[in-house]
Amino acid sequence: MKISVIIPTLNEAAHVVRAVTSAREGGADEVIVADGGSTDETCDLAELSGAQVVSTLRGRAVQQSAGARVASGDVLLFLHADNWLGKEAIAQIRGAVNRTKRALCGAFQQQIEATPFIYRLLERGNAERVRWLGLPYGDQTIFVMRDLFDQVGGFPEEPFLEDVLLMQRLRRLSWPLLLPGPVHVSARRWEQRGVIRQTVRNWAILTAFSLGVSPQQLAGWYSRH
C-alpha cells in the first residue's frame, strides 16, 4: 500500500521543510508540494527536502486536486504546510487499512503547539466533532483512500470550505476514523486572531453555510494565512 502526502503551499518557506520532512521520516512513499504561486523560496526548499513540486493556480482546493492528480498512492493524505506529522501517524493509517479491509477516510488527533489550557479544550472539541459529526477540518490532516476520493469526485473546486464539502460527501460512504496521530498544528492563526474570536468566527461560518450561504460568499469572512 502506497501513501502519498500532498501539501498545498503559498509562501510557506518558513514551514515547508518541517512539513515535508515529517512526511518523509514518517514513512510516506511520496511527498507532493502543490504550490499556488509562491514568491519566496518555498518551491526550492521543498525540492531540496525531497518533495516533488507541482505548480498550479492559487486556491487550496485547486492545489490539492492538482497534487492528487499526479499522486500515485493508494491513500492520499492532505497536510497543511504549517502542520507536521507525528512519527507514527502514517504507520497508523497502514494499520487501520490492514484492520478494516475497506475503503476508509479520516484524520488525526491534533496537538496544537501552544501551552495555554484553552488549546487543550480546542483539541478536545475538534476531536469530538470528528467522532460525532464526521467532519474533520483540513488542519486535522484528512486522509482518504484513492478509490473513495475518486468516487466522490475529489475536492469541490470552491474558494472556501473545500474540506467540509469533501467530508460531507465521504461520510455518506465511510464514516471517518480519528487516529491518535498526532498531527502537530501551528497556533499562528489563533495567536493572530485570538482563540475565542477565531472559534466563534468558525462557528458563525459553519452556521451560515448550513443555512445556505455559499462558499463564495463565506470566503470573504475568512482571510487565509
Instruction: Find out whether 39 and 68 touch, Cβ atoms under 8 Å.
Output: no
**What's the confidence (pLDDT) of residue 214?**
81
pTM, rounded to two decimals: 0.93
The three grid cell numbers given for residue 45, joined into one nine-digit string = 526548499
CATH number at residue 81: 3.90.550.10
Report which of 82, 88, 79 is spatially closest to residue 180, judged by C-alpha positions.
88
**What's the confidence (pLDDT) of residue 225?**
47
Report which of 221, 214, 222 is spatially closest to residue 165, judged by C-alpha positions.
214
pLDDT by 10-residue block (mean), the chain, 225 residues:
97 98 98 98 98 96 97 98 97 94 93 95 95 95 97 90 94 97 92 86 81 78 55
- Looking at residue 18, its amino acid is R
Structural domain range at position 58: 3-221
**What's the confidence (pLDDT) of residue 220?**
66
Please state at what angle helix 117-133 crosses helix 195-210, rounded to 10 degrees: 20
**What's the confidence (pLDDT) of residue 79?**
98
Q: How many domains does the chain have?
A: 1
